[in-house]
C-alpha cells in the first residue's frame, strides 16, 4: 500500500480513465477509427502511467523536508520505503515507460507518434527539473506541471487520430487539454498555499510566500474566471449545436467553477484549500466525463 501511495495511484487511475474515455467515447462520437490498435494504445497508457508514477516518486524524494512539516503523517520516503529503493523504482519506471513508447513508435512509425514520443522523452527530464529546482520558484514549476497534464491529454488524442484526418476531433482534444492545464494550474497554486508553512521553512519562493495568501487567492480567482470565460467562448462559438454537451458543461462544469472561484476569495485555512483542491479535481473528472455526450452525436 505504501508503494501505491508513493506513486499516487488515485492520480494514475484518473489517467487511465481519461485515456479510455478518449478512446471509447470521444473517438467514436466523431465517427473516427483509431490510428493504432488497442494493444498499442494500452501500451501508451502504460507509458504515461509509468512516467507519471516515476515523477511522483522523484517529487516525494526531494519533498521529504517540506512534507515532514506540512504532512508529517503521510511521509513514505525514509520511513516506509528507503530512499535507495525509491531511486531504483524511479529509474525502473522511467526505463519501462521509455522503452514502451519506443516500441510503439518503431511498430507504428508516424508523424503523430513521433510527437508523442518526443513529449514522453522530455517528460522525465522536465519532472526531474521540477522536483529539484523549479518547484522552489514561483509559477514556473506550477506552469510546467500543468503543461505536462495538458500534454498527456493531447498525446492520447494525437496517438488515435492525426490532425489531417479530423481537425474537429483535434480541436476538441486541444480544448480538453486547455481545460486540464488551467484547472491543474489552479490546483498547483492552491497546494502552494496549503504548503505555505513547510515551503517557507525550506526557503522556497512560491507565489504565496512572495505575495501572501490573500493576493494568491485573487490570482487563483482570476485564473478560474479566465478559464470560465475561455470555455464559455469556445462553447458558444464551436459547440453551440451540441445541446446535450452544452447543457452538461454548463451545469456540471461552468456553474461549479463559478461557485469554487467565489469560495477561493473566502478561503483562509488549510481545510478550505484542501476542500477547494478536491472539488477542482472533481470538476476535472466531470469535465472529462463530458466526452460521453459525444456518443449521442
pLDDT at 166: 82
Q: Where do the H-state alpha helices sit in the chain?
A: 2-6, 9-21, 27-29, 38-61, 64-70, 83-107, 111-132, 140-160, 167-194, 196-201, 207-211, 213-238, 243-249, 255-266, 270-289
**Cα-to-chain-centroid distance, residue 137:** 19
Q: What ranges do the domains of the chain cover? A: 2-296
Query: Phi/psi class of residue 269: alpha, beta or left (left: φ > 0; alpha: ψ in -120 to 50)?
Result: beta
**Res 290: pLDDT:** 96
- pTM to 2 decimal places: 0.94
In the predicted model, is pLDDT for residue 162 greater than 90?
A: no
pLDDT (0 to 100) of residue 297: 62
Question: Ranked by mean pLDDT, which of 67-71, 134-138, 232-236 comes out on top?
Answer: 232-236
Query: Residue 137: helix, strand or coil by DSSP?
Result: strand
Give the 3-state secondary structure of residue 205. Answer: strand
Phi, psi of 81 (to 5 degrees): -115, 125
pLDDT-derived band at 163 (thresholds 50, 70, 90) equals low
Amino acid at each position: 500500500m505504501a508503494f501505491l501511495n508513493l506513486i499516487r495511484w488515485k492520480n494514475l487511475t484518473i489517467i487511465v480513465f481519461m485515456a479510455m474515455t478518449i478512446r471509447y467515447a470521444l473517438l467514436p462520437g466523431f465517427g473516427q477509427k483509431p490510428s493504432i490498435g488497442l494493444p498499442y494504445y494500452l501500451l501508451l497508457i502504460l507509458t504515461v502511467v509509468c512516467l507519471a508514477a516515476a515523477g511522483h516518486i522523484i517529487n516525494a524524494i526531494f519533498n521529504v523536508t517540506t512534507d515532514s512539516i506540512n504532512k508529517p503523517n503521510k511521509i513514505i520516503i525514509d520511513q516506509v520505503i528507503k530512499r535507495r529503493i525509491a531511486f531504483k523504482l524511479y529509474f525502473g519506471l522511467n526505463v519501462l515507460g521509455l522503452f514502451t513508447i519506443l516500441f510503439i513508435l518503431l511498430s507504428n512509425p508516424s508523424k503523430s507518434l513521433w510527437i508523442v514520443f518526443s513529449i514522453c522523452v522530455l517528460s522525465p527530464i522536465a519532472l526531474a527539473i521540477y522536483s529539484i529546482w523549479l518547484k522552489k520558484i514561483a509559477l514556473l514549476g506550477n506552469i510546467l506541471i500543468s503543461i505536462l497534464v495538458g500534454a498527456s491529454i493531447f498525446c492520447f488524442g494525437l496517438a488515435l487520430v492525426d490532425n489531417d484526418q479530423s481537425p474537429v476531433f483535434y480541436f476538441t482534444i486541444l480544448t480538453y487539454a486547455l481545460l486540464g492545464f488551467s484547472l491543474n494550474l489552479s490546483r498547483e497554486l492552491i497546494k502552494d498555499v496549503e504548503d505555505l508553512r513547510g515551503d517557507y521553512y525550506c526557503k522556497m519562493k512560491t507565489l504565496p510566500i512572495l505575495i501572501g495568501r490573500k493576493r494568491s487567492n485573487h490570482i487563483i480567482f482570476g485564473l478560474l474566471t479566465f478559464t470560465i470565460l475561455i470555455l464559455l467562448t469556445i462553447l458558444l462559438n464551436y459547440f453551440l449545436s451540441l445541446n446535450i454537451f452544452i447543457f452538461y458543461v454548463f451545469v456540471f462544469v461552468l456553474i461549479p467553477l463559478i461557485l469554487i472561484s467565489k469560495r477561493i476569495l473566502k478561503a483562509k485555512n488549510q481545510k478550505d484549500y484542501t476542500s477547494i483542491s478536491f472539488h477542482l479535481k472533481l470538476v476535472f473528472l466531470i469535465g472529462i466525463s463530458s466526452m460521453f455526450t459525444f456518443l449521442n452525436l
